[in-house]
Structure 1
Amino acid sequence: MKSKGHILSANLLRDELIKNNGYLLLEEYEGGKKVKKSYKIPDMFYRAIKNCPTYFRGGSVGPDFFPDIFEGQSWIHPKNSGKWLSYMQEKLLTYSPGDSEFNEALAFYLGYMIHYAGDMFTHDYVNDYAGGPFPEISNIIDSVDDWRKVSLNNPIFEKIRIIIIHLAIETYLDNLIGYDNPKDDFRIDIPISFLRTCFATRGAIEETNVLKMENGAKLEEINKFNFLGRFVYYYERLLEKNAEGGSVSLSDITEREEYIEKWLKIWGEFTQRMIDKGLSTAWSDYKADFINLLANYLCNAEGDRNAWEFASSVVDAISGLDISIPIFDEIGELVEECIEDKILLPYVRPIAAYITRREPKYIDDYDEAIESIKDHFIHPAKLFLSLGLNDLQKTLEKEWNKFWRKKDCFDQPFPVFKRCLNMGKLCLLGTDNINKIIDRYYEERKEGQDEYKKDEIRLQEHTLQWSLHEIKIVATTAKTSDAGTKSKIFFGLKTRSNKTETADKGYEVQLNRRKDGLEKPGGCEHVDYILPSVVPISSIEAFTLRLAGNDQWIAENIYVIDVRTGIMLAKASNIKLSVGKTIKIGILGHLEDAYCQLQDGSTRINTISGLMVTIRTSSDFGSGTDGDVIFKMETTHRNVEQLLDKESYNDFEMGDLDTYYFQIRNPVDYNEIKNFYIKKEGGSDWKPAYITVCDSRTGICMAHQKFNRNITSKWSLIPFDRTLMDNFLKSESNSGIRYLQVVIKTSNDLWSGTDDNVYMEIKFDDSDPSNPYSNDKYKAYLNTAWHNDFERGDIDTFNVDLRICVKKSSIKSFEFFKKGSDDWKVEWIKISDSAGGEVLCYEENIDRKLKSSEDRIVISSGYWNKK
């Protein structure tokens, strides 16, 4: 099966789970009769599949395209696939069970498993018609020195024929599935962080190279088209150079890391477009993205590109240019030529030759070869005829019997697909259920039978452990005149297996990233550090500090916080750091208890390192002010004051809605908060309508106060309200709604697309008094980086962060509008709660054109607030 067949399996399995509240049904025999038995899958599995449907579907596409087509199709798919699943499971087991990203990764992994379940049966089915299993095409291509000298009579074309029949049958089936199912059923997502953990760190590449070599691969084969590996090695070499005190721009480090992220992201978007519109259209739409990324890399990675076989012809061409610095456009053209001539044409040429019955020596143009293949695959009857399989189309249609139209795992007229679903169920049942099935159907030796050895099979359960993905380091320089430093300061993580006194290799980050961050006395830095791969909490021995330079640094305080949970991991005060010395900061002793509180997966406020303050100035005449507004947080140990001001902007005008984010110099525990206050100094009178205070990490509200009076130079109370988080935890949806996924289909009619800016405005009522948008609105600009949105026929997906959690019932409407002169015609819109997976609205058959900024598409609360 191709992607749509695998996604159809994922959809049917998920539908059965939701219909039966977490149970799957299997047909078994009891007393000679077939009966349906229900099995409850592990709660963790059900929660992930139910709440993260797009990631489950994305995983079901499997190694066909992820992490990219080179890793997936060359190494993961062909041999020892089970070992790759075990490897991915090891990485998954390092994730924290309460982490929302864990659910996305788990859903993706479970989808990856059912991809294999489907291939076990469908591959055998296609093998029978094709005359054998799908050959390793790269071995076929590499076995011929020059395809232009090979005749169609050469026996090697028998293997090419097998490949074509496989592709023909699977493509035909995929197209039929797509015609009869709504496109939204095939929306996918990929967990970038999990894919990085598995495939895109130096450690991951070293581990996966071992798996490849176990299959007989040589290092030169592994490195041939290892784009992901090149990005990773170049990025980590820059990190090492910077850690040694070398002259490295932090923006360069960030850019190199973005190569990794963008490569994975482009493959995700490319695959979605391929599912929606076919492979040819996807390559046409995303070719420029791939080429621009590779060209950027080659322009900057001079030392690295000289050692890369793929880039050798590009490097030679760069050397031949009569310029000191390569021109980006020229590099892009060379990369495109290299991709099409070195990677694609060698695969396309023999396929095009066999289909068209033209000798390979006449096929030298990539575009012409692709068009001839496309023409045959679009018309299956023509393709099967060219293969001498005149009746195959009718035979297949009869056997398939339109099984994709069935909405039930049992009502399946195509036995092969039903076996795929059953194997998928076995993958999801969990260890306890599988062991029970093994016990039930194990047959004892009957009297009179020969003795035989009993091999007992028992599946073992693996336990998840809490792990670190991302940490926040808050560092403050002491206030004495000699405390600051111009040298680089590095913060690191040391695990128990590391017998040195320094941080683990690759697990360091520079703290003083800003020019004056820690150089001046009293300076402060907040650094968010995403670890190269997740690290179990139990394996951490300490955190480290070291200085690369020739002076010293005196720290007033160091705080280390788990970004995902907000738990304080370590803190230290009055540290003097000198050259050549590494200081270890031990982890706090209460961590086990703190993490145990998170077993229910609920989001909580723990350590507060930043606040979000939202203020609505009254719309009454004369309510605005040009004075200074000052906010204060009172705690049991100290007070935190902050001037609320936006640069180059007039705050607190009549009717304004102003939001401020600020970091806290010395993070505080949630239980240390006493109250919040506000005051105004100077300027005219000021009357706010309401003020809301939220934790910037979780978006959970901590205080909400309405006002009907002017604020003066005396502190006005904004009461801290613990019940807001208590109610948040008790609510059935736990976190309300903070993240939305918005999917918009632009009409395929001529001139339906637009280049204008498109916005979504959410209007709220006053049913949730803690919502700062209460009786108000929130506007989001819909735009996808690296991609032209709202083209004719496009299906575009946008992730919208509301900044805080809001009750579903408080949303009055979603309104869509554009700004600009282009018309824009919308076919349908779907909006979902990204975290919970609930579809809030699916407005079909809109077919409406927006001509001006006054035109709006309005979807009201009747969809999601039905009784």
Structure 2
Amino acid sequence: MKLKKVVMSMVMIVLLFTVSGKSVLANGTKTQVYIANEIIAELQKNGGYVEIEGQGKVEVPDNIKNAILNQQDAFRAGAVGPDFYPSFLVGLRGIHANESGYYLEKLIQDYIDNPPADATERQKIEAFLLGMQVHYSGDIISRTEFNELAGGDFPRISYEMINSKSEANVLLRYSAIEGYYDSILPEKGYSYEIAAPIDFVAKYMAFNGENGGNIKRGLNDKYKYSSDASKSKVGTELPLVLFVKYQNEVVKFNNTLNKNGVTGAISSATQIDRWIGGIEGSIEDWIRSNEKAASRVLNGESSAYALSKEYAAYVNGPLENMIPLRDVIKILKTGSGVGFLDEVLGVSDSITGEVTDFLSANIAGGNDTKSSNELAKILINDSALFSDDTDVLKNKIKIAGDKSVREAKNLAKLTLLGQTGLKQVIYNTGIEDRISQKGLKLDAFSSIELKEAHTGLVVTLKTGDEASWKSVTSWLDGSMLKGFGTDSDVNCYVTFKDGTVVTKKLDKPGYNDFETGDTDDYYVEFDKVRKLSEIQNIKIGITKYIDEWYLNSAVLKTVGGRKLTECYPEMWFKDSSTRAQIYPFVPKKQITMKIKNAKGYLWKGYGTDGDVYARVSYSDGYQDYLLDKSLYNDFENGTTSSYIIPVKHGYNYSDITSVGFYRRNGDDWRVDDVWIHVNGREYAHKHYEKWIDRNIEYVCGRINGYDTNDVPNYKDISYGELYIIPEFFRDIYSLDKKNVINDEFFLCETSELKDKVYNKLVVSEDVNSNTQVKKGISKDKDSNTEVKKVISKDKDSNTEVKKIQVRIITRNGNWSKAYGTDGDVYARVNYGSFYRDYILDKSGYNDFEKGDDDTYDIDLERGYDYSDVTSVGFYKANGDDWDVQEAWVLINGREYAHKEYNRGVGRLEHICGRINGFDTE
């Protein structure tokens, strides 16, 4: 890195650490958590409802409400978001610096693709993601409020961001503004405890590796299985494998190294796995250190003080567990390996780079001030930064901050409403007609159904060693061999119930797979996203046969880490035709054949010295087994002997279609009885009292009722529904930081829609007047007077019932086309928090015949005025096709709304939105 970049980076970080108690983007960290606490309090107070300004109470779906209320610490942690997760610097330079909305969308997709099996852990992750939506709602809204006060847009974070004094001043102004506003937040006794789902953050925020972004596989991929040749002058071998070879060649291991756990003859797999485990654990500790720093900031300490304390504790503690770093330090002490370290390992990247950056910045002038609030108050008195008097400036910050919090909270609540709630709010605005005309579907606000689906599975295979082989020698027909690994190609075959077969060669580039005693993970990608129930079976086999291979065990896991099965095939692969079924695994099976030889007289023997075979027939062939006991005279006159017959590997008892026996050669042989035993129980018995020749004598047919499987976790798990980021919110989140939300980005095809949706839902302004609506209070913008509109309604009293009329003209067909219907037609009147359907039917009259012009009276709910009606529509519930020409809503005999259709009608059609101007007090 060039010197200028280093200096600029240090200046930038020092400014950020010493100025404010939070990451200086949009709302301060404490303000973001304050908004999350406001939502928690509102859900608790209203029993699961939130109030949307100008719209009233809307119900939050149970799964969202429960996630927030049951996992409040995780929800607040999500509101902290990339200010401190996965770390201060990653959030600052990586997440906030780029398109934060796309990052949030990625995390949501990571969760959908890999939901944990544990319900509590899923709920914790959902709460965290919902909290992150609160954070981004604050980012979106507040940046527009503080731009003017700060004197410009917040600079994009990068090494080169501070190119002038003016940019540095903007940064300082932003920090002071947010720090001051954090300090004047109302004290409501809220908790500021935070606890993120660390495993999820580590896997999907801290590392965006290959093979799905999982941190463990990513680390394997980076250090164990692949290498960027452009970064290495010593070849394209794997970084850590190469490193092991390098230290064996260059470093003379002395007693000190040996005492510290590094020995001379290092096993690549063992050493590298140990390193990877150390990195993984150290990353999680790093995330926890940043979480602790965030907690300190929420309790009033400055970022510089909190981070310096927690980072120092990390460097002096958990960082020592990053085993590769520890081992590298030992090697560097010997004076060797420096060039290799820079060229191949790149240890200065990632975590150690962050620590280095922080320490450099702190040494260069990091402030140890504990209180961020006091520093912010000092800065807003700086005439070089702000031209306004301090009191005027404080008042401006409070006004801008209050407006920012109100609008950010409103937008955050909108993201929590779910499909039903969002539809309700949209209907309340009266824009559904324009949506229909523009061809937009409200169904776009559908929920995400969290059903288990898989792009592939992780297969872990253990190659045998002498110990594992000896433990099962009674099962094996091979000889004692020194080597158990193979250089043959090992394949995984996944067969689906639709007939599709996916074949995956299990191979890691530059790595010796399937060595004696090795345990290796492989990602087997499916042809498309699949459910587990679609899998017929999974088998392991070898191709391009070179030498034998002994497979000891196999484990199957989902990408998310859920174990499906663990099995022990314990078998030799001696040719290219051998297959071991590992899913669902069929354990090794055996049957016993018991033969009673006839007893002859002195001059007549019934035994034989010939070879006797059992024949086991399967649905796809048969296999003969020699019945012979070592050092024993089989089939002697009058003896009874039992023989164990192994069932063909991968086959179950029910795959056996028949069992028999025959004499292949030798002298005559007479048999009295034969039995077949399965699992120690007699399955079949046959009495012969006859001579046996070369013809097959069958004892039994198909064996039923004895199958036993290692039943895998086959169930397609459904985790319910998660309502996160409908399409129009996704557009907002992906905005560039310099843009402002406007009609181009908020479901707004036209400026009229912007008036209806953006102004009403976000800024809560009534565009048809100069009134700002806020929870039943009308405020005249041209005065300082607040006029409270008091409406007293007793819903259970004898208040006059208001009426409306719905008039519908059915299209007039001809002799070949009738447009009427005999189906049931309903009017729907929406009252904001609920709706009522009214059947449109006149007694003794055929309604909605072709050409009919029908008017129907509808009584509103008792105690509700016209202005309580948020929309009126109609729909056909059943019956034959129906074409409508036009429809009206009439009030007090006067036309209020009219709409032409001239088309078929089935689903709900809205005639008008909110009814205004007809209330009578």
Q: Which one has more relative contact order, counting CA pairs under 8 Å at least 6 apart?
A: 2
Name the larger-Rg structure: 2
